[in-house]
Structure 1
Amino acid sequence: MLINFLFNSNKMFFYFILFFSTMISISSNSWLGCWIGLEINLLSFIPLISNSNNLLSSEASLKYFLTQSIASLNFLFIIIMMMMFLKNFNSNIFYNSILNLPLLMKMGAAPFHFWFPNIIEGLSWMNCFIIFTWQKISPMILISYFYNMKFLFFIMILNSVIGALGGLNQLSLRKILTFSSINNMGWMLIAIMISENIWLMYFSIYMFLNMNLCIMFYLFNIFYFNQLFFINMKNIIKICIFINFLSLGGLPPFLGFFIKWILINFLIFNNMFILSFIFIMMSLITLFFYIRIVYSSLMFNYIKMKWFKFKMKNYYFIYIFSMSMISIMGLPLSTFYLYFF
């Protein structure tokens, strides 16, 4: 089922263009080349999310197209203005800041995140995974080329706070992962300002954990909070979901803790105590709503008879279990890093 979805011949062409448009954007020598890469990326993603049989999906594709088009138009307008009026791009702090605004809007970062949860609600889990991970690569790399430090600090704090507080009252798992993505964008921005290697490590771990959760929810066809205790699911699968959620929140001894620990280390060594304090506090709030999901699914017993019983194929179960075991490797990696570096 999952393999047929991924290797659908009608969609493979658009996946191919989606991949190479990101490569065009991040490897281009000019800002116009970056803009062209972003546009190709947008036009290749629209056919993947639109579905004529699903009204919510069609609405999501239209909303996505409109917001991304506005962001692309602003990006092009700012580039042309800079080429006309500035000889040296780095000489003007104002242009440094406004060039980042359309890129932040493209990846759904706060305070331009309002389109993000609405669009996610109409997408399948596989498209959610793409928009959570792959669609953030080009804008984030382009921001790292040209930014104002003070402005990005404000954006990081805003992402961290909105991502944590926005997920508190959500019942949809897609929206919970959306606000988690907004929260993680704050961490990713600080990572890319430090080093592209650290950002790549953070992004790879984040992508891995998101992939595990999206595949599990796709296999069980779960979209809402209450479905976790309505359906008859094995406790070991619930524990696997539990492990991946806590790892995404950055709780030791899980894998998500390892990279957050490196970033907090850097912030403290550079006397950024307030920023590290805000990041840690907001991570605790995200952990609260992850634990609430898992506690409900493990502890609550739905009184009525559970009519739906899922029979999972062995290789899916082995995959989920082995990926969850990898998520527990955070503390040994942190100890190894501390000892050698």
Structure 2
Amino acid sequence: MFKFSFKLLFFFTLFFGTLVSISSMSWLSIWMGLEINLLSFIPLINNKKNIFLSESSIKYFLIQAMASAIFLFFIILFFLMSSIKFNENYLMFMNMMFSSLMILKMGAAPFHFWFPSISEGLNWMNNLILMTWQKVAPMMILSYTMNFHYLTSIIFCSVLVGGLGGLNQTSLRKLMAFSSINHMGWMISSMMFNENLWLMYFLFYFFLLMNIFILMNMYNVYYINQTFMMLFSNKYMKIIFFLLLFSLGGLPPFLGFYPKWIIMELLISNNMFMLLFFMILFSLITLFFYMRITYAAFILSNKKMNWLMKNNLNKMNLKIFMFFSIFMNFALLLINLIFI
């Protein structure tokens, strides 16, 4: 009866910690919210029976604890020296340090070294939390310390690493991690101009990623060569999987292109043509390795293969998932057309 009650508790404190951080009026309470969030996520991903989950939880704790310790040090330093009249260089240094620590916490480039390896050790549902909710608080705190030139270099590094890093990957979890790094570049660029635009992009990214991760979790797929078993088992799931991946990549006819289109217009109106060129270029590279996942279904047309594993999934669950996926995509588009 109480087997999963502790998970419910830690899920509550996980969301509570993020809400504390984004609604706080002082740096110290922001730090407290980040710590509550960190200490709630560790028990959710830790598992004594799985050595990979335990290794990922230790890595995640060390990285986040180091960033939180440095963050607390600079908060105390800032409070102790608050009576001194600062020059412009000191304030810029503190601004860049706070921004860098938040970028380290969310796993954006060039501080992304921990993100793909930790993602590789987690299951799909934990990866969904890591790639979505765990980025909300650092991203909002980053908006408090907005440094235009510094964030422009972060955007360039993120789209570069996210595009090129996924080219040589066979693990779907690492591939989605590099894809997340690329999307963080787009999120930061949207936050530089409008927080409502960032929220819209994040909601699109969250629901598309949730549908893809639920589908991969249902079929227990973790590597590209395992997509043979998933893609040929159900033709309707194959079509939904294609549409979700292409939408996540931002292919123009699909829903995922809509927030990118608005960001492109904003960058053009602000004469940031070079940055936009590189963002589009490396997004096309991410679209290439999304297509590589579905490559098997395009090339191999026979779905009755001798080595294909039997599909034990409930057909009713598949129909519910298909309806939910289509409904959420249309609902997102309708909400943004009305309110954005």
- TM-score, with structure 1 as normaliser: 0.91
Question: Residues 53 and 121 of structure 2 are in contact (CA less than 8 Å); yes or no, is this contact kept in structure 1?
Answer: yes
Residues 262 and 166 (structure 1 numbering): CA distance in 2 closer, same or farther, change over 3 Å? same
Q: Of 45, 54, 72, which aligns to 2:50? A: 54
SS at match of 2:93: helix
- Structure 1 position 161 matched with structure 2 position 160: yes
Whole-angstrom CA distance in 2 between matches of 1:207 and 1:90: 41
Whole-angstrom CA distance in 2 between matches of 1:253 and 1:12: 39
Single out whichever of 170-179 and 223-232 deviates more from structure 2. 223-232
Question: Residues 146 and 192 of structure 2 are in contact (CA less than 8 Å); yes or no, is this contact kept in structure 1?
Answer: no
- Structure 1 position 98 matched with structure 2 position 92: no
Task: Report the RMSD for the aligned CA atoms in angstroms.
Answer: 2.6
Counting matched residue pairs gives: 334
Whole-angstrom CA distance in 1 between matches of 2:297 and 2:77: 54
Residues 326 and 287 (structure 1 numbering): CA distance in 2 closer, same or farther, change over 3 Å? farther
State the 1:74 CA deviation: 1.1
- TM-score, with structure 2 as normaliser: 0.91
Identify the residue that residue 19 of structure 2 maps to in structure 1.
Answer: 23
Question: Residues 156 and 189 of structure 1 are in contact (CA less than 8 Å); yes or no, is this contact kept in structure 2?
Answer: yes
Question: Residues 229 and 302 of structure 1 are in contact (CA less than 8 Å); yes or no, is this contact kept in structure 2?
Answer: no
SS at match of 1:152: helix
Question: Residues 245 and 290 of structure 1 are in contact (CA less than 8 Å); yes or no, is this contact kept in structure 2?
Answer: yes
Residues 201 and 84 (structure 1 numbering): CA distance in 2 closer, same or farther, change over 3 Å? same
State the 1:89 CA deviation: 8.3
Whole-angstrom CA distance in 2 between matches of 1:89 and 1:133: 36
Identify the residue that residue 210 of structure 2 maps to in structure 1.
Answer: 211
Whole-angstrom CA distance in 1 between matches of 2:75 and 2:266: 33
Identify the residue that residue 65 of structure 2 maps to in structure 1.
Answer: 69
Identify the residue that residue 236 of structure 2 maps to in structure 1.
Answer: 236
Whole-angstrom CA distance in 2 between matches of 1:171 and 1:245: 16
Q: Write the deviation string for residues 114-135 of structure 1: whole angstroms up to 9, x where unpaired.
A: 1111111111110000000000
Whole-angstrom CA distance in 2 between matches of 1:251 and 1:188: 17
State the 1:93 CA deviation: 1.3
Identify the residue that residue 270 of structure 2 maps to in structure 1.
Answer: 270
Question: Residues 50 and 61 of structure 1 are in contact (CA less than 8 Å); yes or no, is this contact kept in structure 2?
Answer: yes
Whole-angstrom CA distance in 1 between matches of 2:184 and 2:240: 24
SS at match of 2:94: helix
Question: Residues 238 and 298 of structure 1 are in contact (CA less than 8 Å); yes or no, is this contact kept in structure 2?
Answer: no
Q: Write the deviation string for residues 247-287 of structure 1: whole angstroms up to 9, x where unpaired.
A: 11111211110000000000001111111111111111111
Q: Which ranges of structure 1 fall in alignment gaps of 5 or more residues?
A: none
Whole-angstrom CA distance in 1 between matches of 2:269 and 2:243: 30
Identify the residue that residue 45 of structure 1 maps to in structure 2.
Answer: 41
Question: Residues 243 and 327 of structure 1 are in contact (CA less than 8 Å); yes or no, is this contact kept in structure 2?
Answer: no
SS at match of 2:121: coil
Question: Residues 207 and 328 of structure 2 are in contact (CA less than 8 Å); yes or no, is this contact kept in structure 1?
Answer: no
- Structure 1 position 184 matched with structure 2 position 180: no
Whole-angstrom CA distance in 2 between matches of 1:156 and 1:286: 15
Identify the residue that residue 320 of structure 2 maps to in structure 1.
Answer: 319
Question: Residues 71 and 101 of structure 2 are in contact (CA less than 8 Å); yes or no, is this contact kept in structure 1?
Answer: yes
Question: Residues 14 and 47 of structure 1 are in contact (CA less than 8 Å); yes or no, is this contact kept in structure 2?
Answer: yes
Identify the residue that residue 7 of structure 2 maps to in structure 1.
Answer: 11
Identify the residue that residue 121 of structure 1 maps to in structure 2.
Answer: 120
Identify the residue that residue 254 of structure 2 maps to in structure 1.
Answer: 254
